[in-house]
A and B are shown apart, each in its own frame.
Chain A
């Protein structure tokens, strides 16, 4: 079965950095685009970042709200995807979910349990 397990969340102060991780299993990780989606407390879902596969040059895409501050990366040898978050703001406080689509269907079929990032002084 497909599993996505996030880790690394926590409490940080504004302007600090944090790197969260997602361990994937149960599918051919190297063939899958990977995504981060976040959800602020009591709010809706917001797409954060996307990383494509090696044949697509690991191209990355970001929401305007995080562009220039967040960096998504992946390690296909470890089936891991990461989100480096720099210059964090209070509005980045959210549950961060790692998500992945099925083959030939871009909808988010697989979700992790999420890791909570709290930015507060």
Chain B
């Protein structure tokens, strides 16, 4: 199985600050035939179901604010929130869907100071 490693496990920032979180996979998620990275980011707010933010490593879902930016390729990926808002308090998970079984990282918990 592909192992997904997320760092840091938690991070506390003030509103308006920029935050970055990392996700590394144990093998490349770049499919050579279509040049797409099979990597998604999810946001899970307290007491809620996960919500898909970004797929294909960098494509925001409809309605997701443009302060959420996904980047990276191959085995190294980053989720950046350019200016954190109070409502961004959540745990963020990355997931690879390159291979079965799909696997998730352990999450980065974002706390607002």
Residues on A lying within 8 angstroms of B by beta carbon are 44-47, 50, 61, 63, 97, 105-109, 111-114
Contacts and interface: CB of A to CB of B under 8 A. Distances in A.
A111 B105 CA distance: 18
16 contacts: A44-B104, A44-B107, A45-B42, A45-B95, A45-B104, A46-B104, A47-B102, A107-B40, A107-B97, A108-B42, A108-B50, A109-B55, A111-B50, A111-B51, A113-B49, A114-B49
A45 B96 CA distance: 12
B105 A108 contact: no
Interface string B83-113: 0000000000101010011111111000000
A112 B49 CA distance: 7
B19 interface: no
Interface string B43-58: 0000001111001100
Contacts of B38: 106
